[in-house]
């Protein structure tokens, strides 16, 4: 089941890359982050055994539970909103925190990473759809924060994370992803393309459009593992 799903996903990723307008968008690689939230730890093992290096989780506690049961391995991405009281654990557990959505969160990450003498890899999450229920920096707050990154020496900002509007018409997400790519190029000019490597956009219902518009990392749960079981936390 999972292996079949993975084959379909890889095929769709390749097709989307082929459709990209290469004059406009550089790069021809896409990282597939397997989103294992609300699935049992076994699913992480399956993903790693199939050659995927990256796993994504939404909650600190759920990732901690899984990591305690699994052998070391995998590059762990945090995708969900971070509460202040979880930041210490998040810095201990995650290789990449994709969901930095305020200057305050970044400040706390800096503080905890400094204590551990860690260089914490992060992405800045921008809320381009201005939906109130969604976390992420407003574009205005993002533009301000990006001028202040030098004040966070234990944090390495490697790019951006964007979530499009949930819709049953995937085409409608295209302008959001196109804007994400513009902002990513701007950040690359600021930080350099050796540091600023990652544009994380696209989930099960819209990832091929995100890739066409320039995403080089997609976060897929349902497409790989089927429906989530919300009793697993």
Per CB under 6 A, residues contacting ligand PLP are 35, 37, 58, 79-80, 163, 203-204, 219-223
Name the residue whose CB lies closest to ligand PLP. 221
What letter would DSSP give residue 82? P
What does the alpha-carbon distance between residue 114 and residue 196 come to, in Å, rounded to a whole number? 21
Of 155 and 220, the one with the shorter C-beta distance to ligand PLP is: 220
Q: How far is the CB of 221 from ligand PLP (least distance, A)?
A: 3
Considering the complex, what minimum distance in angstroms separates the CB of residue 160 from ligand PLP? 13
**C-alpha dihedral (59, 64, 70, 75), degrees to nearest 10:** 60
Instruction: Please state, in angstroms and rounded to a whole number, the distance separating the CA atoms of residues 134 and 82.
Output: 13
CA distance 26 to 181: 10
Strand 120-126 relative to strand 96-100, pairing: parallel
Question: Least distance from C-beta 115 to ligand PLP, angstroms?
Answer: 27
Cα distance between residue 167 and residue 102, in whole Å: 26
- Least distance from C-beta 145 to ligand PLP, angstroms? 19
Shortest distance, position 80 Cβ to ligand PLP, whole Å: 6
Q: Which is nearer to ligand PLP, 86 or 219 (by Cβ)? A: 219
Nearer to ligand PLP, 17 or 203 (CB): 203
DSSP letter assigned to residue 23:
T
Distance CA 220, CA 35 (A): 5
The nearer residue to ligand PLP, 72 or 169, going by C-beta atoms, is 169
Nearer to ligand PLP, 186 or 204 (CB): 204
Report the largest interatomic distance among the alpha carbons of the chain, rounded to a whole angstrom: 47
């Amino acid at each position: 089941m999972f292996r079949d799903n993975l084959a379909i996903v890889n095929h769709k990723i390749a097709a989307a890359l082929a459709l990209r307008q290469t004059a406009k968008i550089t790069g021809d690689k896409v990282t597939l982050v397997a989103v294992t939230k609300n699935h049992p730890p076994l699913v992480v093992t399956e993903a790693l055994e199939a050659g995927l290096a990256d796993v994504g989780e939404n909650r600190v506690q759920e990732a901690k539970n899984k990591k305690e049961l699994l052998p070391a391995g995998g590059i762990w991405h945090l995708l969900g909103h971070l509460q202040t009281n979880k930041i210490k654990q998040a810095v201990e557990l995650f290789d990449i925190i994709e969901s930095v959505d305020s200057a305050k969160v970044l400040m706390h990450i800096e503080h905890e990473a400094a204590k551990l003498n860690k260089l914490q890899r992060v992405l800045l999450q921008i809320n381009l759809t201005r939906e109130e229920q969604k976390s992420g920096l407003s574009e205005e707050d993002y533009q301000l924060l990006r001028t202040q990154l030098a004040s966070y020496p234990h944090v390495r900002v490697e790019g951006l994370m964007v979530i499009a509007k949930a819709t049953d018409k995937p085409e409608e997400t295209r302008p959001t992803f196109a804007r994400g790519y513009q902002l990513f190029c701007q950040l690359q000019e600021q930080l350099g393309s050796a540091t600023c490597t990652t544009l994380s956009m696209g989930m099960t219902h819209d990832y091929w459009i995100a890739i066409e518009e320039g995403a080089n990392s997609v976060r897929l749960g349902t497409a790989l593992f089927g429906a989530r079981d919300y009793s697993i936390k």
